[in-house]
Amino acid sequence: KNIDAGPYVCGAKNKAGTDKKQTSLQVFVQPQIIHLKNETTFENGQTTLICEAEGEPVPEITWKRAIDGITFSEGDKSPDGRIEVKGQHGKSSLHIKDVKLSDSGRYDCEAASRIGGHQKSMYLDIEYAPTFVSNQTLYYSWEGNPINISCEVLSNPIASVHWRRGKLVLPAKNTTHLKTYSAGRKLILEIAPTSDNDFGRYNCTATNRLGTRHQEYTL
């Protein structure tokens, strides 16, 4: 065990006298990652991923980003300067600033020395305010012809999405010709126009804890 390391003295004695010699025992210990955990941050923010390892000799720590296989070691910086790695005696910190959605995913930490290595993985989750996927905001129809207006939203965490017309949340009482239903990431507004009053502007609103976004559609 590691506690067995240190100096040892061998002594010999007989009638003619005594003698002793000292030697030292060095115990090598396989690298072992002892601290690495998943992290959550938000878009355009900053975060630090920490990996700690122990072993004898002290292992060197390397990071690998799974999405593209790029590796980062102590002192490394990404070409855009957003990512930097600093290390000290078995501890490595990977700092990311101006976080992008593309930074999310799995990161592998590897601790290695001349007698072996140990690897563990963690996941970086990035939260962001709702964004609208479709650029189509103008739709055409006529009285009696049903049409679907699709509001597709990306967000993390999942957003609460609803349709409005003015201050009225849809569907509302006495609006049986207006229906909403979900299809994956989309909230679809089905309109069966019965008069000129059904044409005009409709608003899709998406909200999560990072913000609220609106997109206007015209029929």
The DSSP string of 109-155 is EEEEETTEEEEEEEEEEEEEEEEE-----B----TT--EEEEEEEEE
Domain 133-218 fold? Immunoglobulin-like (2.60.40)
Task: Transcribe 78-96 into DSSP letters.
Answer: -TTS-EEEEEETTEEEEEE
In the chain, where the domains are located: 29-128, 133-218
What pLDDT score does 188 carry? 94
Q: Which pLDDT tens digits describe the chain residue by residue (219 residues)?
A: 878 888 989 999 998 889 899 999 888 899 999 999 999 999 999 999 999 999 999 999 999 999 999 999 999 999 999 999 999 889 999 999 999 999 999 999 999 999 999 999 999 999 999 999 988 999 999 999 999 999 999 999 999 999 999 988 898 877 788 999 999 889 999 999 999 999 999 999 999 999 999 999 999
Considering only CA atoms, give the Rg of the chain.
Answer: 31
Structure tokens at 17: 């006298």
What pLDDT score does 191 carry? 94
Strand-pairing partners, residue 61, are 111
Residue 60: its H or E element: strand 60-65
Tell me how far CA of residue 169 lies from CA of 14, 137, 174, 175, in angstroms: 102, 19, 12, 11
CATH fold match for the domains 29-128 and 133-218: yes
What pLDDT score does 4 carry? 82
Largest CA-CA distance found in the chain, in angstroms, rounded: 122
On whether the CB atoms of residues 217 and 149 are closer than 8 A, the answer is yes
**pTM value > 0.85:** no
Structure tokens at 19: 């003698």
Q: What is the CATH class of 29-128?
A: mainly beta
